[in-house]
Amino acid sequence: MSNDFIELLKKSSKVSDSEKWDAEYETLPVVIAESATSLDDALLRLDEVGGYGYVATWRKNLFAFNTKLLSKRCGLIDENGSLLKAARVPKN
């Protein structure tokens, strides 16, 4: 994960630091997948929380991601913290 990406991501008002995750979007964990090759690792990390969270990626790389293949529980945000696909949060 590049420092440029994480610094851009943290400029968003909805993104905060996290000790366990790369960041948090509102209250859900964020893992960074800067390319399609790092997507599998990112999704494996989200498995710890049942897949509920967000994958952050460069907007310019979205063509490499088929968002329909992402878990329905998993959301997608870009490097600016803009919501591209909402995560489904379980009802308690």
pLDDT of 68 higher than 70: no
Residue 65's domain comprises: 3-85
The answer as to whether 13 is a domain residue is yes
pLDDT of 19 higher than 80: yes
- Provide the domain count of the chain: 1
Distance between CA 57 and CA 62 in Å, rounded? 7
Cβ(55)–Cβ(64) under 8 Å? no
Q: Which amino acid is at 75?
A: G
Residue-wise pLDDT tens digits, 38-48: 888 888 898 88
The answer as to whether 91 is a domain residue is no
pLDDT of 70 higher than 80: no
The answer as to whether 90 is a domain residue is no
